[in-house]
Amino acid sequence: MALSLLFLVTILSMMITPSISDTNSFIFGGCSRLKSSPGSNYETSVNSILSSLVNSATFTTYSNFTVPGTTASETVYGIFQCRGDINNDQCSSCVQRAVSQLGTLCFETYGGALQLEGCFVKYDNVKFIGVEDKTEVVKKCGPSIGLTSDARDDVLAYLESSDGVYKTFRTTSSGDFSGAAQCTGDLSSSECQDCVSDAIQRLRSECGGSPWGDIYLAKCYARYSEGGLHSRRGNDDENHNDDEIEKTLAILIGLIAAVALIIVFLSFLSKLCEKQRGAK
Ligand SMILES: *[C@@H]1O[C@H](CO)[C@@H](O)[C@H](O)[C@H]1NC(C)=O
C-alpha cells in the first residue's frame, strides 16, 4: 500500500511538474515609468483591477476591466489573455502568478504588462483595450544555422493563413516543426490577422535561419520550433530561475521518494528474513 502510494507520488510529480513550469515560465515584463503615490485612489483602482482579473480567470480565458477615476488619467484599464489550449485551472493559476509578479515588478507604477508562457496580463491608465499595437516586445531566435525547411515554412504559412475567422489562438505542426500564434481577445479578427501576419513576417526575416523563433508584439505573438515548442529551452538561459527551482524540486521529491522506497523495501526484506529465521 505504502509502496504503491509512494510510486504514485513519484510518477505524479514527474507528470505534473513539466506542465506547471511550462505555463508559468516567465517571458517578459515591463512597467510604466510614471509612479503612483502610495495609498492613492489610483493604487486602489489598480488593486481592484488586478483582483478582478484573477477572479475572472477562474472561468474564462480572456477579459477586460475598467475602473473609472475622478479624472480620465486616473482611469485604470486591465486585461488578461490565457493561451488558447490550457484549461481553467492552469489559466487561473497562471494569471494569479502573473499578477503577483506584476505586484513586485511594477510596484506603484501607473502601468505594467507581464507575459508568462500560459498567460498575459496588462494594466494601464492609457486606454489600450481594443487598440491594435504591433510594437515589438520580445524577439528570441535560436542559433542561426542557415536552416531551410519546408516543414517550418508550412507551419508559418498555416499560422498566417487568413480564413476570416482568425481569433485569438492557432497552433499547428508539420514534420518536426510546430508553431503557435495568439492575439489578445480585445482585437477583431482582422486586427488579429494583421498583427499575427506582422509577427510572422518578422519571424521569417529575423529568425529565418534558426530552428526556432519567438516574436512577441504588444497584442499578439507567433512562435515556431523544431521538436515541440517547449523542448528547446536549453538554448536560452534567461529568466528561467523558476523553472530551475521547479526542476530541482521535482528531482528532490523523486529522490526522497526513491530513498523512502528503498527503506520500505529493506524493512520488508528484514521482516521476511526474521520470519524465515523464526520459522526454522
Ligand atoms: C470588454 O468587456 C465588456 C464586458 O465584459 C465586453 O462587453 C466588451 O466586449 C469587452 N471589450 C473588448 C474590446 O473586448
Name every protein residue with a CB atom under 6 angstroms from any ligand 1 atom.
64, 129-130, 185-186
Residue with the smallest CA separation from ligand 1 atom 9 is 186
Residue 254 in any domain: the answer is: no
Closest by CA position to 201, among listed 232, 229, 222: 222
Q: Give the distance from CA 193 to its chain's centroid.
A: 22
220-226 vs 62-67, strand pairing mode: unpaired
- Residue 8: inside a domain, yes or no? yes
pTM, to two decimals: 0.76
Q: Residue 267 burial (CB < 10 Å; 0-12/13-18/19+)?
A: exposed
What's the gap between Cα 219 and its chain centre? 15
Which residue's CA is the nearest one to ligand 1's atom 1?
A: 64
User: Considering the domain boundaries, does residue 106 fall inside one?
Assistant: yes
Q: Same domain, yes or no, for 125 and 148?
A: no
Q: Is residue 241 part of a domain?
A: no
> Where would I find the beta strands (DSSP E) of the chain?
26-31, 62-67, 76-82, 112-116, 119-124, 136-141, 169-174, 177-183, 212-217, 220-226
**156 and 219 together in one domain:** yes
C-alpha 205 to ligand 1 mean position (Å): 35
Same-domain check for residues 96 and 12: yes
Residues 24 and 114 in one domain: yes
- pLDDT digits 0-9 by tens, 223-234: 999 987 765 554
114-126: pLDDT as tens digits: 999 999 999 999 9
269 inside domain: no
In terms of domains, do 103 and 142 share one?
no
Average pLDDT, the chain: 84
CA of 186 to the centre of ligand 1 (A): 7
Residue 175, pLDDT > 70, answer yes
Maximum distance among all Cα pairs of the chain, rounded to whole angstroms = 92
Which grid coordinates belong to 218? 504588444
Same domain, 92 and 211: no
Q: Would residue 258 count as lying in a domain?
A: no
Asked if residue 121 and residue 9 are part of one domain, the reply reads: yes
CATH of the domain at 100: 3.30.430.20
Count the domains in the chain.
2
| Any domain includes 245 | no
Q: 227 C-alpha to center of ligand 1: Å?
A: 37
d(CA 189, CA 11): 42
CA–centroid distance for 188 within its chain: 23
User: Which domain does 88 fall in, by range?
Assistant: 2-129
Nearest to 108 by CA among 66, 47, 65, 49: 47
pLDDT above 60: residue 23: yes
